Every structure is written in C-alpha cells, then in structure tokens.
Chain A
Amino acid sequence: MIAFLIRRLTQSGLVLLVMSLLVFIGVFAIGNPVDILINPDADQEEIERAIKALGLDKPMWEQYWIFLVNALQGDLGRSFVFNIPALQLIWQRMPATLELAGFAMFLSIFLGIPLGMIAGLKPDSWVGRTIMSGSILGFSLPTFWVGLMMILLFAVYLGWLPASGRGETVDVFGVPVSFLTLNGLSHILLPAINLALFKLSLTIRLARAGTREAMLMDYVKFARAKGLSNARVIMVHVFKNIMIPVVTVLGLELGNVIAFSVVTETIFSWPGMGKLIIDSINVLDRPVIVAYLLMTVSMFIVINLVVDIIYSMLDPRVRLGDMKS
C-alpha cells in the first residue's frame, strides 16, 4: 500500500511537470495577450511598461522557468484581468463546480443503478425497453442542445425553474453551497440534470449489462439453490458484483464531469470554474488558463487514486500492491 502510494505520487509529479510545459507552450501559441489587454490607443512607452510589468518581455523558456519556480512555492501567477492570484480565483469558483458535478453524479448513481438493474432483470418487458430507449437518447443528444431545450421548457415556457445563476447559498464550513436552500436547489436542478444526463445513461447501461451478466453466473444460481429469497440474491449477490464496474467507471468519469461542466456552466451561467476558463480564454488570461488546467489535471490524478483504492476495497481479488500504476 505505502509502496503503491509512493510510486503513484512520483508518477503524478512527473505528469504534472510535463503537463505544465505543454500547457505553457500551448498557451503561448494561442496569441499575445498584450493585443487584448492593453488599450490600443496607448503609446509605445506605455505598452512596453505594461509588457515589462507582466513579465512578457523575457524569452519563453525564461518565463517558464520563473513560472516553475513560483509554482513550486504555490504561486501560479496573477490573473492579468482581475489582478489577483490565479489560484485564488480558481479556489473561489471551484465550490460551485464541485457542487454541480457532485450533484450530477449523485443523480446519475441514485437513479442510474436502480433503473439499470430493473432493465437488466426484465430486459424484455416494456419497463426495461423504455429505460433503455431513454438511455440511448441521453447518450446521443448533445448536452448543449438538451440544456437549451430545458431552459426553453422549464424556465421560459413553464416558468417553473430559474435558468441561470446559483441562487441563494449557505456556508458549510466556510464553503458556499446552493443545494441546502430551496431557492438554491431550484437553481441547481436544471444544470445538474443537464450535466447528469450522459452519466446517467452510462450508469444505466453499466448496471444493466452487469446485472444481466451476473444473473447468468453460477454463483447466482447457487445462491438461489441455497434457498435465498429473490430480494437477497439481487440486493446482495448481484448488487455487490455490479458495484465494481459501476464505481470504477463512474469514479473515472467524475473527472470528465468536472471538465464537461464547462458547457453546462456556460449555458446556465453557473458561476464555476468552467465559466471562468471560457472567459479567461476569451481574454487570453494566461495565468488563469495555466492554473485551471493544472488544477484539473491534479484533480484527475487524485480522483483516479481514490477510485483505485475504493476499487481494491470492493473487489477482494485486487490488491493495491499488485496493481499497475
């Protein structure tokens, strides 16, 4: 376990280093922020002063070096636009994104697993078929289109739910969250469903496939031969087995949900990291872009690590020490 963690963390460090270099080069390739940031009417002297202040006069490798040294001290630079540390900016927006992603995951799991199991137990019934048709739709309709349609239907036409913003928030351990107030809940519902749609469909399919496979296994027949009730066979023997693929895939997908929230946040004006990064790209706010990407990668790394640990707890045949990192 300890050896596994050390190996994993070393590798993660390398990934982050390579990643930061790629991001840095990539961001340089996009364009020069000076053109956007500085008033075009400013005179030459003023422009040069600004360039110097932002550190943009130095060659790229030197800028990268400075960035790296600062980054190791926890400083990812200041936002050109807001003139506050990029990291702080992201920290401010992160809770909103995590809340949205978490809520979406919650919906996918708590709706997807039961629905998928029902569809797997009764694949030929109309209930099973309806669930599967729904999940095909969830898979194939583009997220942004569904988001717009949801706004049209529930916000504009029916007027039941608000179309944008976070609504009222309350602080939990100093972190603002929406879902604990009624007003906030009404705000998070549409974007969360929108973001959950794809994962929900995925969960349904995983749970259904797992259930169908497990039902054919000898251990299910043996369990029934022991005289167990149907409920116990399904809730214990089948459920425990399908949790392995479901948790693994969904855990890995959590990173994607956070990344995908860019689209949903933009549509629903949800004030999270996704919206921040789009705005920052528009004005070429380099430090924010770099910091966002590094944060996202770190998040992926942590999530994958946690998933591996949970996976090894769910499946007794897997030991972390044996696992390829």
Chain B
Amino acid sequence: MSQSQPTLQIEDLKTHFLTKAGDVKAVDGISFNVNKGEVLGLVGESGCGKSVTGFSIMGLIDHPGKIVGGRIIFNGTDLVGLAETEMRKIRGRKIALIFQDPMMTLNPVLRIDTQMIEAIQAHENVSRKVARLRARDALGQVGIPSPDERLRAYPHQFSGGMRQRVAIAIALLNKPDLIIADEPTTALDVTIQAQILYEAQKLCRDTGTAMIWITHDLTVVAGLADRICVMYAGRIVEKGGIDEVLDDPFHPYTYGLIGSVPSRNKRGSPLYQIPGMTPSLLKLGSGCAFRERCSRADEACKNMPQATKPKPGREVRCFHPHLETS
C-alpha cells in the first residue's frame, strides 16, 4: 500500500515461558512487518505460538512468559519494555485484540453498554452519554439490528455470531491502527464466518487499519490476507504474498498444509496428512524443528536452517525447499 513506514515491525522477537520444567520457547526469533491497510495472515498448527505472538504485541503475556529478546516497533515506538502505564494507553486505543471464542470474551455479568462505554472512557474523557452514542453507532456499523435496545442486553442474550460482532465493534470503538484478530471466526458457522471476513477486509481497505489475522485454517486467509507468515514451533518458516505462497509453497511444512486442505480438483483422492505430531517446545533440539516429520530431511537438517530469499518478496527457512516445481 503506502510507501511510508509500516504500522508494525517485529524484529527477532523471542517470547519464552520460564517454567519449572524448563524454558518453553513459544516464540523464538520471528520478524515480520504489517503495513497500513494490509491484512497479514499468521498461520500454523495449534501450539506453534500464534496467540503468544499476539499477546506479546499487546504486552499481555501470562506469567511466567517473558519477552526475552527482539523489538516490536509500533508506529515508530518500541513496545518492548514500555512502561505499563504507556502500554495501557496503546491497548484498545491504538491496537485492538479480538479473541477466538466469542462466548468467553465478554464478561457474562456486565451489560453490553457497560463493556463498551468503559472501553471508550478508558482512553478519552467523554461523558457516559456521548460514549453510549458512539457504542450504539459501532454496533450498528457491524450489522447488529436495533443497536439501541441491544446495548442494554447481556452477552448471553446474543448468538455466537452476534457476540463476535460485539467484540469486533468493541475493537473498532477507538479506531485503532492495528487489529490483531486471533482466530475470531473459528467458533462460528461458515456463512457468518464469510460475512465477518468480508467486513473485516473492507474495513482495512476503507480505513487503512492494519490487521494481523491469526488462524490455523489456510482457507480462511486465502481470500482475506495480502501476505502470509507460516509459523512452526515458534518460528516463521515461510513468508510471502498470499497467492504466491499458496500456489507455489517452498517449505515442506507449507507444502503439507496446502496438501491437507480439501479442494474440488482433489476430490476422490485421499487427503494428505502431515505425519507425526507437533514437537514439544520444551524438547526442541538445535536442528530444524520439522525434521522428524519431513520427507526431505537429511544430515544437513540437524542444524538450524537460516531464512533465505529464493525470490523477491519470498522468504523460507529450509535447507531443501520445494524450488524445483516453480
């Protein structure tokens, strides 16, 4: 999009959980940028560190997690090590987070208006009345019918899809520069998912908001994201424009992921499944983490592959990427 500075620049971010059993390297040296108005897809299996990445940006990592290295440059400021009071001003105002499970993110005993008004008043000195009007408009904006009445309702009086819309409305309240959407549509049925995806994309285009869309489902980001980062065991193994990566994956893991997605031209033939299981983050050796499951692994893979750029705008972390098919 614009040639100006990216909204978010992550450089070699490392977030580890210092548990009694040892260091869990949930995020171990990832780098990526998100530009204004751009949707970045962050894809990977369960437990690969997607949510921890999101929480690291928000400064909301659970104990005993800690950012042990790297930088998170947001609009020119490094968020790592920023004082809590400063961080609080950014949360919800400049960067908003939408969670996976709409049933769990709204407080069950507080009315929707309370939960929306407090999100405004946390950052701006406005009256309840003004805040309420803005909350109402935000509900209308995400397609909730009769928002005036719905403001007085409790979360359990909404369906799952409507609740996620409320959560999205809350995220939009303060017109953030960056939205981190952590699998926000996983719990919803397909038609509602499609609507929300469409609206999210439109929003970014129209307002220039940058978005990180976290998911384990390639088909979700396929029509939504501009660029994609594929994560495996705390590292980004492949990066590039969404269409290039999907059409022509380099990394054996991405290759396997795409092979395991059902599609029309593969009908009848059995779906591919990546063999083995996600490795324990506690017991990662020094080599490539995908080694045990990779059909291309050899002696070289006992070392850690560095990121290479086989093509402009593409990046892969593998000794033997699928380059021959291209």
Within 211-252 of A, Cβ neighbours of B (below 8 Å) are at 217-219, 221-229, 232, 236-237, 240-241, 244
Q: How far is the CA of A150 from the CA of B103 in the complex (A)?
A: 50
Identify the closest chain A residue to B123 (Cβ): A227
Q: Which of B108, B109, B111, B170 interacts with A226 by CB under 8 Å?
A: B170
Within 251-310 of B, Cβ neighbours of A (below 8 Å) are at none
CB A9 to nearest CB in B, in angstroms, measures 29
Within 240-276 of A, Cβ neighbours of B (below 8 Å) are at 240-241, 244
Q: Which of A221, A223, A224, A316 interacts with B109 by CB under 8 Å?
A: A316
Q: Are B122 and A317 in contact (CB under 8 A)?
A: no
Q: How far is the CA of A314 from the CA of B154 in the complex (A)?
A: 12
Q: Does B104 contact A (CB under 8 A)?
A: yes
Q: Does A279 contact B (CB under 8 A)?
A: no
Q: Are A241 and B60 in contact (CB under 8 A)?
A: no
Q: Are A316 and B60 in contact (CB under 8 A)?
A: no
Query: By the criterion of a CB under 8 Å from any partner CB, how many residues of chain A are at the interface?
Result: 22
Q: How far is the CA of A316 from the CA of B115 in the complex (A)?
A: 15
Tell me whether A222 and B110 are in contact in the complex, defined as CB-CB below 8 angstroms, given that A227-B119, A228-B118, A316-B156 are known contacts.
no
Q: Are A227 and B109 in contact (CB under 8 A)?
A: no
Tell me whether A217 and B104 are in contact in the complex, defined as CB-CB below 8 angstroms, given that A225-B96, A240-B110 are known contacts.
yes
Query: By the criterion of a CB under 8 Å from any partner CB, how many residues of chain B are at the interface?
Result: 29
CB A174 to nearest CB in B, in angstroms, measures 39
Identify the closest chain A residue to B107 (Cβ): A219
Q: How far is the CA of A222 from the CA of B111 in the complex (A)?
A: 15
Identify the closest chain A residue to B84 (Cβ): A230
Q: How far is the CA of A50 from the CA of B266 in the complex (A)?
A: 101
Tell me whether A224 and B91 are in contact in the complex, defined as CB-CB below 8 angstroms, given that A229-B122, A317-B154 are known contacts.
yes
CB B56 to nearest CB in A, in angstroms, measures 13
Q: Are A227 and B91 in contact (CB under 8 A)?
A: yes
Identify the closest chain B residue to A317 (Cβ): B156
Q: Are B122 and A237 in contact (CB under 8 A)?
A: no
Residues on B with C-beta less than 8 A from A236 are 110, 118
CB B126 to nearest CB in A, in angstroms, measures 14
CB A313 to nearest CB in B, in angstroms, measures 11
The 0/1 profile, CB within 8 Å of A marked 1, for residues 97-136 of chain B is 1010100111111110001001100110000000000000
Residues on B with C-beta less than 8 A from A314 are 109
Residues on A with C-beta less than 8 A from B92 are 225-228
Residues on A with C-beta less than 8 A from B101 are 218
Q: Are A226 and B154 in contact (CB under 8 A)?
A: no
Tell me whether A229 and B156 are in contact in the complex, defined as CB-CB below 8 angstroms, given that A219-B108, A317-B108 are known contacts.
no
Q: Does B204 contact A (CB under 8 A)?
A: no
Q: Are A219 and B122 in contact (CB under 8 A)?
A: no
Q: How far is the CA of A317 from the CA of B101 in the complex (A)?
A: 18
Q: Are A226 and B91 in contact (CB under 8 A)?
A: yes
Q: Does B88 contact A (CB under 8 A)?
A: yes
Q: Does B168 contact A (CB under 8 A)?
A: no
Residues on B with C-beta less than 8 A from A316 are 108-109, 111, 154, 156
Q: How far is the CA of A126 from the CA of B96 in the complex (A)?
A: 35
Residues on B with C-beta less than 8 A from A223 are 107, 115
Residues on A with C-beta less than 8 A from B73 are none
Q: Are A232 and B106 in contact (CB under 8 A)?
A: no
CB B84 to nearest CB in A, in angstroms, measures 8
The 0/1 profile, CB within 8 Å of A marked 1, for residues 56-92 of chain B is 0010100000000000000000000000000011111
Identify the closest chain B residue to A227 (Cβ): B92
Q: How far is the CA of A227 from the CA of B58 in the complex (A)?
A: 10
CB B282 to nearest CB in A, in angstroms, measures 22
Identify the closest chain A residue to B96 (Cβ): A225
Q: Are B106 and A219 in contact (CB under 8 A)?
A: yes
Q: How far is the CA of A223 from the CA of B107 in the complex (A)?
A: 8
Q: Does A315 contact B (CB under 8 A)?
A: yes
Q: Are A229 and B109 in contact (CB under 8 A)?
A: no
The 0/1 profile, CB within 8 Å of B marked 1, for residues 300-324 of chain A is 0000000000000011110000000
Q: Does B93 contact A (CB under 8 A)?
A: yes
Q: Does B210 contact A (CB under 8 A)?
A: no
Q: Are B105 and A226 in contact (CB under 8 A)?
A: no
Q: Are A222 and B109 in contact (CB under 8 A)?
A: no
Residues on A with C-beta less than 8 A from B154 are 316-317
**14 A-B contacts (beta carbon < 8 Å):** A218-B101, A219-B104, A224-B91, A225-B97, A226-B92, A227-B90, A228-B92, A232-B118, A236-B110, A240-B107, A241-B107, A314-B109, A316-B156, A317-B108
Residues of B near any A CB (own CB < 8 A): 58, 60, 88-93, 96-97, 99, 101, 104-111, 115, 118-119, 122-123, 154, 156, 167, 170
